[in-house]
Amino acid sequence: MIAKEKDFADLRKAGKMLAHVLRELVVMTKVGVTTAELDLAAERMIKEFDAVPVFLGYKPEGSPTPYPASLCVSINDEVVHGIPHETVVIQDGDVVSLDLGLSYNGYFVDAARTVAVGEVDSAAQLLLIATKEALDAAIKAAKVGGYTGDIGAATVEVATKYKLGIVEDLGGHAVGRAVHEKPFIANDGVAGEGDKLLEGHVLAIEPMLCEGRGAIILDRDQWTYRMEDGKRAAHFEDTVILTKNGPEILTR
């Protein structure tokens, strides 16, 4: 969608709701908590806002089954779309990605945070610092009149600075009236290339960095993407509106 002024109020409300839920989930993400507990909490909080958890039952083209939860919880070598389960218990030292989307009055927003649980090593701390920095740089690069490649190029610059890999084949996307809209935003973009960025574009910008090579594999559950080399990854995401004065972040 191309957002107009009439759309901004509901998009902002949706973004504040999602930011609140993610803040609460980050606090809950502790040793001994199951990923199913996090999922149930996310669904409950979203519904308390009279909003809709949009990942629950989502079935994109090519997926054999609908996604069975409201929240994606991906741990360590898992990158995205980890399915919560009552048998998956968060451990000391885990790197946990929380990815969540909701809709309010028909407007969709999407965001993610990665949490270092308990005593994590310095490499994990660096991975999270770098990925968050990549998100901030990517958002700053999202300017009206620019290109999707500018966003990815900003991610590449930060990954190179920290000597980290970029997760292959996954990236950001437009959002607003659906869970995923075009254009796709590759995290390994080239400045000046890709789709033109327009005033009113609503974008979910989501850099994913990793400790090793960027290759991923799809797990047997047909949803969870893991790093092929078994090393850890991190994922941060915010939804923004592109305005003539720069990107407005909705989900913080």
Query: pTM, whole model, 2 decimals?
Result: 0.97
pLDDT in tens, 60-118: 888 899 999 999 999 999 999 999 999 999 999 999 999 999 999 999 999 999 999 99
pLDDT band (50, 70, 90) for residue 251: very high
- Across 120-127, average pLDDT: 97
- Tokens 């915010």 correspond to 238
Mean pLDDT for all residues in the chain: 97
pLDDT in tens, 32-41: 999 999 999 9
DSSP per residue, 182-213: EEEEETT--TT-SSBP-TTBEEEE--EEESS-
- Tokens 């509106």 correspond to 241
Which pLDDT score is estimated for 61?
Answer: 86
Question: Looking at the predicted structure, is the pLDDT value of residue 203 above 90?
Answer: yes
- Across 163-190, average pLDDT: 96
